[in-house]
């Protein structure tokens, strides 16, 4: 199932390139994003994609870079660093993605450093 990590690599590259259509192709329609405490942040692919577009508008200079993906069954984990915020801070996150087939169904985000 090494292809799931490739999907995440592609999704991160699509985010970096501000390519919403490529992002859309990786996300399940019933997508859910969860915070570290288990609360639901966003539900639905279109809501999530809208949040991405808002993020790009509000943070035009932010870029992401990612680590190597680690796959276990239908889960993929990786770290991602965001730099270029107007105030100069950077963020490091750990993301865990749960797949349903070849689509990202759930995303769990953990802020490591802000």
Across 56-87, b (16+ Cβ under 10 Å) vs e yields eeeeeebeeebeebebeeeebbbbbebeeeee
CB neighbours (10 Å) of residue 107? 19
Per-residue pLDDT at 1: 45
The position carrying tokens 């985000």 is 109
How do residues 63-101 score in pLDDT, each as one tens digit? 999 998 999 999 999 999 999 999 999 999 999 999 999
pLDDT band at 2 (very low <50, low <70, confident <90, very high): low
Entry pTM: 0.91
Taking alpha carbons only, the member of 80, 114, 76, 74 closest to residue 94 is 80
- CATH tag for 3-113 (out of 3.10.450.50, 3.40.605.10, 3.30.70.790, 3.30.200.20): 3.10.450.50
| Nearest one of 7, 99, 15 to 55, comparing CA atoms | 15
């Amino acid at each position: 199932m090494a292809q799931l990590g490739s999907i995440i690599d592609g999704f991160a590259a699509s985010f970096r390139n501000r390519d919403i259509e490529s992002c859309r192709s990786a996300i399940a329609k019933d997508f859910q994003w969860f915070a570290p405490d288990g609360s639901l942040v966003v539900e639905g692919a279109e809501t999530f994609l809208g949040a991405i577009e808002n993020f790009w508008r509000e943070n035009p200079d932010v870029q992401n870079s990612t680590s190597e993906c680690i796959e276990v069954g239908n889960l993929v984990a990786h770290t991602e660093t965001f730099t270029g915020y107007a105030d100069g801070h950077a963020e490091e996150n750990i993301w865990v993605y749960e797949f349903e087939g070849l689509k990202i169904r759930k995303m769990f985000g953990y802020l490591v450093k802000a």
